[in-house]
A and B are shown apart, each in its own frame.
Chain A
Amino acid sequence: MTQQQIHLAVALDGAGWHQAAWREPDAVAAAELFGAAYWLDQVRRAEEAALDFVTFEDGLPLQPDGQVRGRLDASLIAARVAPLTSHVGLVPTITTTHTEPFHVSKVLATLDYASTGRAGWRPRLGALGEVGLPGAPRDEAPLFGRRTPVPYVELFAEAADHVEVVRRLWDSWEDDAEIRDAATGRFVDREKLHYIDFTGPHFSVRGPSITPRPPQGQPPVIALAHQSDAYTFAARSADVVLVTPQSTGGIAPIVQEIRTAQAAAGRAEQPLLVFGEFVVFLDEDPKAAIARKERLDETAGEAFRSDAPVFVGSPDELAEQLELWAQYGLDGFRLRPAAVPHDLDAITTRLVPRLRELGLFRQAYTADTLRGHLGLERPANRYAAVAAA
């Protein structure tokens, strides 16, 4: 039987996901976390291993003490590495709670142009998520000021509206809108530019975008989800949903809940990939991985905790675990290296070759776009369909 191949992504954040990662002897100097070279180096490692995509974490508040503090805008890091890479998907995190959908849409469309079809987006709610855990977001609203705060229960609905507007704006130009017709003097065919006329409780947007439809048409939307509200949001709005079951037994109920929500949203026929998440501590000798995690915890002064399951062991063991978990209904995984460069290297130079031996991962890229890596067709333009009907 041919093994189903899995998708693989890595999540880049600071010096890695363990709060003491920056104190490791092989960690880069702290100042380099705020320069382009460090990010380019990590993305190139991911690309050499033919990973589907990398995500760039982001958040508006300053992180609490006891970890890396300060960060650059994720979409600009992605743009900075785009011209110097050629295949790997680039997925910045951008909040939906405080940003303008009009800006976000053109940021991602432009990232898609700069990367020739490799942009994705991880929408994130403001001041929500890993509540109570180390690195938990602080309240973001005071940073932005006077805008009437949206009640917590409405944040997901607002996020869904935000994504809807972004997606409509991507489609607000048909692919062949630019005609450069010297005979009539027209640069565009205005019949192929569309007002989106979105009206919702939190904002209204007229359109069209100022940026033409991006190369992928619709860059993939990738949502992290831990519970029902988020599953519903992802089912309605995302192309990939990242989930955090703690055991194989937790997978099926989550996938079922997502599929039900997908059907309820009228998207049953649309592809929605489900990825599992792991924070990974990897060493050839599993005992070394355990010891390293203990050492990091000791350095930090507290045990590592995460919203995602934590894997401590060898790359070979992880490969087996990914194979097993995939059989329970996951299409792929996003791995969070506990410490960079150590765990990122273990993923790209040890885990990936092992997955290839098992027939679970591509030998090389077979597509040039992020949608292509994910097996997603380039979608038709919703407005072109209406116009043709």
Chain B
Amino acid sequence: MSTEPDRTSKPRKQIHLAAHFPGVNNTTVWSDPRSGSHIRFDSFRRFAQIAERAKFDFLFLAEGLRLREQNGEIYDLDVVGRPDTFTVLAALAAVTDRLGLAGTINSTFNEPYEVARQFASLDHLSAGRAAWNVVTSWDAFTGENFRRGGYLEQDQRYERARSFLHATQTLFDSWHGDEIADDKATGAFLAEPEPGRFSVHDAFFDIEGQFNVPRSPQGRPVIFQAGDSEQGREFAAAEADAIFSRHGTKDAGQAFYADVKDRMAKYGRDRDQLKVLPAATFVLGETDAEAQELAKEIRHQQVSGQTAIRFLEQLWNRDLSSYDPDGPLPEIDPDLGEHTVARGRASVRMHRDPLETAREWRELAERKNYSIRELIIEVTGRQNFIGSARTIADTLDDYVQSDASDGFILVPHITPDGLGEFADKVVPLLQEKGVFRTEYEGTTLREHLGLRPLPRRDARSTAAEPTVSQTPEGVAA
């Protein structure tokens, strides 16, 4: 099928934009004097208020439940430390009116009843702006911080995650929304004497009782899926409202977009009821050339010599601290044994075939005469959009109109004000093009995303088995 949309007959798609508060990785250039706190609430407030001023759809938080380690020590080169997701989102609901509030919450180290309570509460307290990016962790390393530990086998973790999602959906649907009678005369607080009744009995949960949070404004949080696996795509097509994808290039984006949207018809869903939103970074300049220069500078700040060695160690699975980052790559091969060097980060698992990757890196370094640091700067590149405001606005629009995505989840490299120039310079151009809202039209996140209100579900649909993505950071570690 053609990936080029027919622009004569199709209305221009509206772009969805979100702001990802930077997590604990080397995206953030913390040494920049403009770089503020990643923990004080004022940073979150400012970040959220910039996003809302720019009429963004939502703010996004990733997750990591144990401080990362490398070579047996806490990793100290990136930002370390983050707040509790639910608590920050609830506080942000107080200082914003329309901005959606999306949190990555793990299904491994929580229980369905409490997660359902927290999201339903957040949705009430934000008047319908909550979203949940569902992830699961795999590691006993993170499990050491929790009662349950990391006791589940790999396949069981997926099973438990599916069961977990099923259970929370059951809880969200246990109130229908019309129970509150408030009949002061008769004393009937509720019209329904036994609301919230639920029961889930499967291999992982034996829970039953009555849920104690009335149905929230959106019915349930908007559901995000962040995985890229076959099951992940199928789940997204069947059940998710949005996908946090990693396909940053246009070609890969179009292929992914077509793939997941094509899967929707068999679940009776319309293609516009699932938003594909890749993570994206940007570097703005007065001119394209200036932006390119700036981007190069930022990459050097993001990847110091020390950081480059640490990245290399993650592939090599060896202590490489004696290597010179400005020198050539190690001649020794990666250790293919159990991964022991780096723990608590997602990127470790991205090197499926370390020997092959090392071979490619060596070849690239040789061809371009790269040092370790130069190589790492190139192969860990994270900048998607570089240019003048006009160039970036045109490129974003082109991606969306070409069905490479429905929008973007932007992560700036300066916290909290790095989004400001995007808001001031790029957003007005998108608005001029008529592809981005100038005012919020609805009040809930579902409305911002163009998602239809949820039908009440008396009996749970069993059309698809939900799956979740598997990363400790949630996304974009």
Contact = CB atoms under 8 A, between A and B. Distances in A.
**Binding between chains A and B:** yes
A142 B145 contact: no
Contact of A110 (B87, B196, B214): B87
B74 interface: yes
B45 A83 contact: yes
Interface in B1-46: 30-31, 39-41, 45
A100 B109 contact: yes
A65 B193 contact: yes
A98 B112 CA distance: 12
Contacts of A223: none
B113 interface: yes
Contacts of B306: 185
A79 B212 contact: no
Given A34-B124, A62-B196, A143 B84 contact: no
A22 B189 contact: yes
Contacts of B333: none
A186 B81 contact: no
Contacts of B86: 73, 75-76, 79, 107
Contact of A142 (B66, B83, B208): B208
Given A79-B90, A193-B67, A212 B73 contact: no
Contacts of B208: 142-143
Interface in A129-178: 138, 142-147, 173, 178
Interface in B51-86: 64-67, 73-74, 76-84, 86
A76 B83 contact: no
Interface stretch (A198-206, A262-270, A323-331): A198-206
Contact of A188 (B81, B87, B118, B189): B81
A359 interface: no
Chain B's interface: helix, strand, loop or mixed, by majority? loop
Contact of A79 (B79, B91, B190): B91
A109 B85 CA distance: 12
B94 A83 contact: yes
Please indicate which of the listed interface residues B73, B80, B189, B193 has the most CB atoms of chain A within 10 Å of its own CB: B189
B366 interface: no
Given A36-B93, A185-B307, A206-B144, A61 B209 contact: yes
Contacts of B398: none
A145 B109 CA distance: 14
A208 interface: yes
B95 interface: yes
Given A22-B189, A23-B184, A100-B147, A210 B65 contact: yes
Contact of A180 (B31, B127, B189): B31
B421 interface: no
Interface string A206-241: 111011100000000000000000000000000000
Interface string B196-219: 100000001111111111100000
A31 B177 CA distance: 11
A72 B127 CA distance: 13
Interface stretch (A111-119, A250-258, A344-352): A111-119
B180 interface: yes
A382 interface: no
Contact of B111 (A61, A98, A187): A98
Contacts of A116: 41
B74 A111 contact: no
Contact of B212 (A63, A189, A205, A212): A63
Contacts of A178: 80-81
Interface string B104-130: 000001110110011011101111000
Given A71-B212, A113-B39, A210-B64, A185 B189 contact: no
Contacts of B80: 178, 187-188, 193
Contacts of A138: 209
A127 to B, nearest CB: 12
A105 B39 CA distance: 15
B88 interface: yes
A301 B186 CA distance: 11
Contacts of A202: 147
B41 A107 contact: no
21 contacts: A30-B180, A30-B189, A62-B210, A70-B195, A72-B124, A72-B125, A73-B121, A73-B213, A83-B41, A98-B114, A103-B109, A110-B83, A110-B87, A145-B111, A145-B205, A147-B147, A190-B74, A190-B76, A193-B67, A203-B147, A212-B81
Interface of B: 30-31, 39-41, 45, 64-67, 73-74, 76-84, 86-88, 90-91, 93-95, 109-111, 113-114, 117-118, 120-122, 124-127, 144-147, 149, 180-182, 184, 187, 189-190, 193, 195-196, 204-214, 304, 306-307
Given A62-B211, A109-B84, 18 more contacts: A22-B184, A23-B187, A30-B180, A34-B213, A62-B210, A76-B90, A102-B145, A106-B83, A110-B83, A110-B84, A113-B40, A145-B206, A186-B77, A188-B81, A202-B147, A205-B144, A208-B67, A300-B187
